[in-house]
Structure 1
């Protein structure tokens, strides 16, 4: 599948960005070409094909469009759980703010994961605030690629865990489209329309999605609209252009705070009293890609991209210990509260602009009698954050401004990687350089500050493929994740000695198709952090920012067997399992507190700094994750499968408390111990069933799916208080292809 990326810069940055850029090709990710695609579209190296995987020195997993559809995943969380090494934590039950962790990393807001769409940064501030408060609907994508290991240095800035690339579909060769509708319990509606085609040298595709549903809790509801267009123009035999543009809109009733243990006991796990909390977002994005093919061996691709994310979140509580409304003691005791009696609401208003230019070059060359593949590239990337907090008293009344901040980031990065192909072996050394400038201004106080950092990230990988059925690989690389602007520079303009997260990452693995219908991918991994920036139980709350050394070790496995091909039968029974074992996820040194003086005098902060928790398991890192599927496909077009999702127990704090009431801060035990923010999260099992029947005469698919078949109740998060997993969901629908 052709993969393109493009974008527009802010006018005042175009000259600056282009002046620093080199032309270059995206020789990055992977996907097999769609047989309906005829135009020469910007495309990365095909990773899904055996020819490329043979020399890929790292773990690669791909979710195909067929697998996504037949599973009838209704959010990205369901999809990514099918990938080994990936731990996805639910939040509001709709998948709009995913929490994605890879190989044991804390999944909160996906801050440790690099998210791309068609090779372009998807997060609204990947350098200055890599938090996912936005995610496009899963229906937009044709496939998903997950890359781990040393070849991550071709992307960035985050290289400490893994890279996820979402691929949008390309225009078909013949005008065609589809119309789908899904309805279900909890007022779930999902409608999608797409149409596209190729006319001469031009191809175009439009995709429209509308989704709405109640969330996993009381007083929650999400309503989203997503519009996406893609146009491709073959200028001549050597040049092509791709234009992408999208608009996303969300209007949700959703709160930020979880609930306390006492509230859960008295009112149930889905209790949420904050009926007045609302979130509205808009995101505009566009990109432009120029691909220049000098010949069959030299390809230059230049991407330019721009996005604007706007968010208004009005809420009456951030956490269960937030006393904005004076409800803290009542909530800790499990007493009913009335949010209408709260004489306060806070608007957390945000605008993020992200734009840049990225040329990439791919060259196949033969030097000293050795076949080589050279990839190199440069990126000039810019971010602007405008953050305002308005406080309204009474509810819906006049507002006062308590925060008005501008936070800017300029980032310049480059990489070079050369793959030496030596028969059955390949050697791939590479290096990436990141230089980031941060600035922050408090416009209410007219104070601010600036700082910068530069990091060099080496990488090396090797593969051995003695035959077409097996490839072994080994690699290591430098992991890097920049600090947030707000962590590097205080609100008074003081420079804080945070520094980036840095690690040495190692993996060794195997990819094999030992016999017909069988596939096995396995890897051992190790991430040794010289510095990890961690927040304990509260994202930006009572546990301050702390840095220290940490170690993650484990194994991951993807196994699949299709018995139909094995026995040359049109009836196919299949089995697939994605398993992750994070054997080690622990602090290996005392953590240095970087919060305010009052924060760092807290019990948890002092014990962290004194090394009291060395050897403890890090928060939100379950030891075991398993997604296993068994299914059957009939040659008539019928498919049914049962999916089992298991997530092991995990801790929600550095102290590894089994119960919140074990909190050592006896002075604040009433507030802390009963907040729901501390304590163990038990393991849980969820069963999902999906069935599909394709009616060939009318080219239509009919389907039914059941999520959480046994209606299990379980906790998924304690970050801001207890959040539940989704209840049983029944969904049914159809998709007409025309």
Structure 2
């Protein structure tokens, strides 16, 4: 492991000594939950609201309820596509396992993105296995914040591409709530209900139906509760609890090129696959605000995630059912999984807990106003991973072939200071991560190994408020992301040659509002990786783990016209456009396999990285008057490569190689909110033209969602 470049104590001491810092996450936005003294009620925010974007430490976007509800986003994928710089890939049709990428990062399992809920880790193992196998319903969030740039150093451990923070609603003081019911094609049905009073909120969501392909039946339930209270003038408390349950018939593999050609987009033969998860989360947050200049925010959190996935194939090249079975698939012949006397249970249990504490202070130093924040987090993870191989197509137990314990213990700290020179703010930051990893093979004769990472990173953000309607900003920071436990420590207990991800990130942009109705955000960005770990975590081993130098460069912008129209409802047109142009997503050096040192699947310096479309955009235009609100939306994604060799055409018939053509998908929504108190209804059509398009080849061909029509009604009080 490389030596620590900057001592932690020196970094924190320097930042505090230079203090004046301001914490954007703990400033009080105009629409945040506040008490009579104007203090927030124990909630961490990454961005805030539209007003706070003016001084955010980097590129910032906010998706509020007016955007999510008016467009009738059925999944998190639909919502996040409206944010510039973000690309989202569908998988099973319901957005239950989101694949989110930011500024060119590979979206597979959202491993390159930091996901937060109320500022706390939303993933079950952000240090040891930052993969996303579940997602709560988008309907239960009040808004979604997206932050890129140097402000990421206040969170972590993923501080390279960006953070997404889901803000839960504020419990009402008076009795209030709503019930929404919806139904649609492909067997879709959903219920969402929320009720609260006296600082307590209980939210329930359920949805089920057929997925995007054959033999896919999805079902998810989510129960969330939140209690917020101001104890006195100095103390506030927030308690959150969540139980998410999913039991779906859904597979892991894609299909081969010949299967797609012979049987069509909906084909998937594995009818015995079962995906069963339970996610339990609990957190307590406390604010102590002794006066108007000091604040201490402390949160304790715990999550328990169980994932059992029984399947007969992990990729199109998987020979679990025999070599002849895999060959038949490659040739496009129909196969009978029921004749395969095998199924594998990939069984996982994750336990995560920690304490996050942030101290902020507003003060003046050397004649400049400002504020400072120092944060400390202790975090632990435990993964228990089993694999049982059954002897029939429907087995749910079998021979134990894997029993692995993987752990991560992390102590992180950051310090950040804002110097406020009136129209100009400068914010230097420092972050240190200390992570200890362990891996134990608990089968007879198994080995034990350990390793550690120490990393200190720096950042600087600048913001110039040119006028009331225009601000310019820039930021630079060192990015860091730890490797997975299994990538760092081999099965025999020895440390591998894999290193953490490290990058140098630059961005510059502007935010402005014209004529009181046109909002424009634009930014150019660049990320140069000294080391990037590229996708290798595909079950079945068909894609080897590799690493090397990479570079990303691009431009993103968002334009919103007349965002107040949805509030005034006076007969006006509104529109939103989000565009990401990824000029470069380059393999700067040959990406080499960790196990052999050979080039990974034909990697060459100068080639484009997989799953990095050159252009992505979402445009929505609508008209609202009185009770009616209608809109049309088009999402465009440019061409992408599926492999490091940049093959334009399939090479071996597995479906895992070749170019993904660009596509455009149209949707339309009609909302009705009559004068009848509390009632509303809607009709939405997703993929209006029933466009057929490939979204992924990682484990074989996966296609995007076919047309879906959904109607719904809602009553609120």
In structure 2, the partner of 1:28 is: 25
In structure 2, the partner of 1:657 is: 647
Shift of 1:66: 1.7
Query: Are the equivalent residues in 1 in contact too, given 2:182–2:712 (CA < 8 A)?
Result: yes
In structure 2, the partner of 1:309 is: 305
In structure 1, the partner of 2:184 is: 184
Aligned counterparts of 1:196 and 1:226: Cα–Cα separation in 2: 16
Whether 1:414 aligns to 2:405 is: no
Shift of 1:127: 0.2
Q: Normalising by structure 2, report the TM-score.
A: 0.93
In structure 2, the partner of 1:56 is: 56
In structure 1, the partner of 2:3 is: none
Given the alignment, which residue of 348, 352, 355 partners 1:354? 352
**Cα distance, 1:238–1:731 mapped onto 2, change above 3 Å:** same
Alignment of 1:360-375 (within 5 A): 360-375=358-373
Instruction: Look up the SS of the partner of 1:548 in the other structure.
Output: strand
Aligned counterparts of 2:146 and 2:285: Cα–Cα separation in 1: 22
Shift of 1:34: 4.5
In structure 2, the partner of 1:285 is: 281
Shift of 1:538: 4.9
In structure 1, the partner of 2:103 is: 103
Structure 1, residues 356-410: CA drift from partner, whole Å, max 9, x if none? 0000012111111111121210100000000000001123456100100000000
Aligned counterparts of 2:414 and 2:23: Cα–Cα separation in 1: 12
In structure 2, the partner of 1:344 is: 342
In structure 2, the partner of 1:333 is: 331
Whether 1:731 aligns to 2:710 is: yes
**Cα distance, 1:536–1:125 mapped onto 2, change above 3 Å:** closer
Whether 1:319 aligns to 2:315 is: yes
Aligned counterparts of 1:702 and 1:505: Cα–Cα separation in 2: 45
Query: Are the equivalent residues in 2 in contact too, given 1:182–1:734 (CA < 8 A)?
Result: yes
In structure 2, the partner of 1:217 is: 213
Aligned counterparts of 1:708 and 1:32: Cα–Cα separation in 2: 36
In structure 1, the partner of 2:620 is: 629
Aligned counterparts of 1:30 and 1:223: Cα–Cα separation in 2: 39
Alignment of 1:81-480 (within 5 A): 81-198=81-198, 203-326=199-322, 327-397=325-395, 399-444=398-443, 445-480=445-480
Structure 1, residues 76-105: CA drift from partner, whole Å, max 9, x if none? 000100000000011111101111000001
Aligned counterparts of 1:43 and 1:729: Cα–Cα separation in 2: 37
Structure 1, residues 46-96: CA drift from partner, whole Å, max 9, x if none? 844565333323100000012111111111000100000000011111101
Given the alignment, which residue of 615, 624, 633 partners 1:643? 633
Alignment of 1:596-611 (within 5 A): 597=596, 605=600, 607-608=602-603
Query: Are the equivalent residues in 1 in contact too, given 2:47–2:147 (CA < 8 A)?
Result: no
Structure 1, residues 685-738: CA drift from partner, whole Å, max 9, x if none? 000111111123231111000000000000000000000100000000111001
Instruction: Look up the SS of the partner of 1:259 in the other structure.
Output: coil
Given the alignment, which residue of 609, 617, 620 partners 2:608? 617
Shift of 1:269: 1.2
Shift of 1:173: 2.5
Query: Are the equivalent residues in 2 in contact too, given 1:83–1:578 (CA < 8 A)?
Result: yes
Query: Are the equivalent residues in 1 in contact too, given 2:47–2:146 (CA < 8 A)?
Result: no
Given the alignment, which residue of 621, 633, 655 partners 1:676? 655
Given the alignment, which residue of 684, 708, 713 partners 1:705? 684
Aligned counterparts of 2:288 and 2:361: Cα–Cα separation in 1: 12
Instruction: Look up the SS of the partner of 1:78 in the other structure.
Output: helix
Structure 1, residues 500-554: CA drift from partner, whole Å, max 9, x if none? 0000000000000122111000000000000000126956722311110000000
Structure 1, residues 591-612: CA drift from partner, whole Å, max 9, x if none? 23212x5xx56xx53854xxxx
Aligned counterparts of 2:34 and 2:682: Cα–Cα separation in 1: 27
Shift of 1:218: 0.5
Instruction: Look up the SS of the partner of 1:487 in the other structure.
Output: helix
**Cα distance, 1:463–1:25 mapped onto 2, change above 3 Å:** closer
**Cα distance, 1:540–1:302 mapped onto 2, change above 3 Å:** farther
Unaligned 5+ runs, structure 2: 1-15
**Cα distance, 1:31–1:321 mapped onto 2, change above 3 Å:** farther
Instruction: Look up the SS of the partner of 1:263 in the other structure.
Output: helix
**Cα distance, 1:706–1:30 mapped onto 2, change above 3 Å:** farther
Shift of 1:236: 1.1
**Cα distance, 1:383–1:28 mapped onto 2, change above 3 Å:** same
Given the alignment, which residue of 687, 690, 698 partners 1:719? 698
In structure 1, the partner of 2:9 is: none
Structure 1, residues 13-48: CA drift from partner, whole Å, max 9, x if none? xxxxxxxxx9x9985278845588758511346844
Aligned counterparts of 1:31 and 1:171: Cα–Cα separation in 2: 17
**Cα distance, 1:537–1:38 mapped onto 2, change above 3 Å:** closer
Aligned counterparts of 1:464 and 1:737: Cα–Cα separation in 2: 42
Aligned counterparts of 1:539 and 1:652: Cα–Cα separation in 2: 17
In structure 2, the partner of 1:502 is: 502
Query: Are the equivalent residues in 2 in contact too, given 1:564–1:573 (CA < 8 A)?
Result: no
Structure 1, residues 262-310: CA drift from partner, whole Å, max 9, x if none? 0001100110000000010001000001110111111111000000000
Shift of 1:446: 3.0
Aligned counterparts of 1:441 and 1:132: Cα–Cα separation in 2: 23
Query: Are the equivalent residues in 2 in contact too, given 1:516–1:565 (CA < 8 A)?
Result: no
**Cα distance, 1:643–1:413 mapped onto 2, change above 3 Å:** same
Alignment RMSD:
2.0
Query: Are the equivalent residues in 2 in contact too, given 1:232–1:243 (CA < 8 A)?
Result: yes
Unaligned 5+ runs, structure 1: 1-21, 662-672
Query: Are the equivalent residues in 2 in contact too, given 1:222–1:252 (CA < 8 A)?
Result: yes
Aligned counterparts of 2:614 and 2:539: Cα–Cα separation in 1: 22
Aligned counterparts of 1:245 and 1:275: Cα–Cα separation in 2: 34
Query: Are the equivalent residues in 2 in contact too, given 1:25–1:359 (CA < 8 A)?
Result: no
In structure 2, the partner of 1:693 is: 672
Query: Are the equivalent residues in 2 in contact too, given 1:26–1:360 (CA < 8 A)?
Result: no
Aligned length: 690
Aligned counterparts of 1:450 and 1:154: Cα–Cα separation in 2: 27
